[in-house]
Structure 1
Amino acid sequence: MSSVLSACAHLGSLEMGRKIHNYLMRNRFNINAYIVSALVDMYAKCGSVTRSLVVFFKLEEMNSFCWNSIIEELAVHGYGEQALDMFKKMEKEKIKPNGVTFISVLGTCIHAGLVEVARKWFLRMTHDYNIFPAIEHYGCMVDILSRSGQLEEAL
């Protein structure tokens, strides 16, 4: 079902995505973290960020996969401050972020132009969470530094 919802997201088919969501509810499917993430993604990509948040907050047990989805979707839709707030809530809930989480956080900083915040999270990623930067993390830092005119540091 998560693959079907993902297809709806890529097609921008909100109507079909809603029908599938209703089908899941009517037939009492086990709405696990992966289906919730697919629903969050589908609603957001189809222009209904509010509905994404409703679906997200209805899930009782959230894992990093769910949190990564909502952080990414908020960032992509221009809600940078809310995306970073979600990351802080994730920390408070004691959900351990992973490398994908930090790509979303750094991406949020790129979209919002938050250079200093990106630097802070890039350092905390290693120091506080023992997540060593991958090429995608370095790419995010190069991107934000380049956009802010700090080309020597980006190099």
Structure 2
Amino acid sequence: MKTLTRLSALMLFLIVPVLSFAQTWVEYEWEEYSTEFKIPSDFEVTESSSEKFSATNGAILMSIYPRTDESLTWEEMENSLRTWTTENEVLVSGDIVELDEEKMNGYWGVLLEGTKNDYNVGTMLIVDPDFTDISLYIWVAYDADQVDTVLEMLMSFTPM
């Protein structure tokens, strides 16, 4: 009985901190571009128009720039993302990462990492293979301790 009580106390001790640090999320639907995604509930939306969605919490800034009528193929996505990233003066620090379509909820995706003005920057381009006329260019600048939240945000994009 003592062992069971100790085990229960240990589990409670381990679970309570996890629950207190659990991130709460807000879901957004962008019907015009047939996508939905999540951002942390402490984010403030600074712009939401047909040309751009942008939100921040001070530690992370995410902006989405949709383009229509690009009709990119999988092969063209790498060059398009690299061009967009370097035009925005990001110092690229690695190779393009091809994202797993299953983990990206059905999107084709590529990702580049780098820095700009001492901030970590991730740029991502996603395309729904069923609607290749819509491309979503995603910019995320973030503090180094925010990597897990950034990854969860980027992996939350889901075609509608």
Same fold (TM over 0.5): no
**TM-score, scaled relative to structure 1:** 0.23
Of structures 1 and 2, the larger Rg is shown by 2
Instruction: Report the TM-score when normalising by structure 2.
Output: 0.22
- Which protein is richer in helix relative to its size? 1
Name which structure has the greater RCO, CA cutoff 8 Å, separation 6+: 2
Q: Name the structure with the higher strand share.
A: 2
